[in-house]
Amino acid sequence: MVAAVTGIYRTFKLSGVEQDKRMNQGDVSLGDLRIDRDDEGGALARGWSWAVWIAVAVGGVAIAIWWSVGQPIELKTMAVSESVAAGERRSVLDASGYVVARLQTTVSSKITGKVMEVLFEEGMRVGAGQVLARLDDSNARANLELAEAEVASARSALAETHVRLIEAEKQLSRTTRLTSDKVVSAAELDTAEAEAKSLQARLERQTAECTVAERQVAVWKRQVEDTVVRAPFAGVAVSKDAQPGEMISPVSAGGGFTRTGIGTIVDMGSLEIEVDVNESYIKRVRSGQEVEASLDAYPDWKIPCKVIAIIPTADRQKASVKVRIGFDKLDPRILPEMGVKVAFLEAEGGAGAKAGVLIPRSALFRKDGRDTVWLVSGGRLEARTVAVGMFGTDGASVIEGLALGDVIVLDGALDLVPGKRVRQVSP
């Protein structure tokens, strides 16, 4: 229609231009300028024809504009049907994190050695002190046997010296009596005293040597014991990292051919949740606050928890603060490293515990700094400002602006115009 009007205008404009051009060129005579009375009717008819064409074009443009503006658009909507009772506790902050074990360790040996046998499998429950693996102890046992032999030898020498000392003390006693009776000389008495004192000193030295040998035996017994790897606490083996024939060391050695651990043990009684809370919202979290957790593996299972501690430091890279959350009651379904979502609940009797309705978060958008939803009323769109009480894992609690039965647009972020006709579509 617009094109038709434009064509008529251009026709008029071109006709006038052609007449002016003919007059300027002298092609127009006085006869051409004479009014033809017989053609008055035809000119009038042509004028009416042009007027009709213009009216039709303008009408078409108006119809096109009405069609584009008045045509309804399809939007996914929903009727508000869920209410939030007064006093119901809502979430003041949502976060996500992982289940972690406070008591978890990778069990290793105290010495470097070759693994001879591994006595556990993944998923096995182990007790404190239970043998998990044994290393090659042949060298340690050989040294232990040598040390025990040295102890036996030292004890034999000590016993011999003890006997000789007893004999020397008796000889000294006899020599002392004989010297007092003038039977033997003083020189013989001195010799007997020296022999007794010498044997006494030897006895003391051999006693010390015997003690050293015994302690050496204890050292090698400890070396043999160190070839046995035991569980440091009761728990569940979650990984098995070494096999018989491999080398194991308490420190990294030998490149990729040396293991640094036999396996990992977890105390399932020490499971808790760790989440990183944005430092801008950490003021909403307090120690002892009640928390509702849901595992990613069991999203419909709501697990009651409490805040154990807020770690008093922030991560400058992530601008977050770590929060520890403890389970009120543990369950076998809760496993380490599981993903979990948590909702920090408001305090009882808090300001957010007002009656209202529950809507999806996606229906909200910000307009002029206020929370707003698109409301469908009478088949047309209306921007309705609302007051949100609390944000939760299941939506937002609207305490003012909406009532049960109101129909809202699910996607509030759409670029819509108030007053636009709407054809409702089920989500």
Tens of pLDDT, residues 139-186? 999 999 999 999 999 999 889 888 888 988 888 888 888 888 777 788
Q: What pTM value is reported for the model? A: 0.56
101's torsion region: left (phi>0), alpha (psi -120 to 50) or beta? beta
Confidence band for 9, pLDDT divided at 50, 70 and 90: very low
- Span 384-399, mean pLDDT? 75
pLDDT at 317: 92
Beta strands 83-84; 356-359: pairing state: antiparallel
Token representation of residue 131: 């043998």
Among candidates 241, 301, 234, which has minimal Cα distance to 109?
241
Among candidates 230, 231, 235, which has minimal Cα distance to 101?
235
Q: Give the Å distances, CA to CA, from 388 to 42, 53, 238, 372.
A: 73, 57, 45, 10
Q: Is the pLDDT of residue 91 over 60?
A: yes
Least confident of 29-43, 109-123, 145-159, 350-364: 29-43
- The string of DSSP letters for 149-205 reads HHHHHHHHHHHHHHHHHHHHHHHHHHHHHHHHTTSS-HHHHHHHHHHHHHHHHHHHH
d(CA 311, CA 322): 6
Confidence band for 11, pLDDT divided at 50, 70 and 90: very low
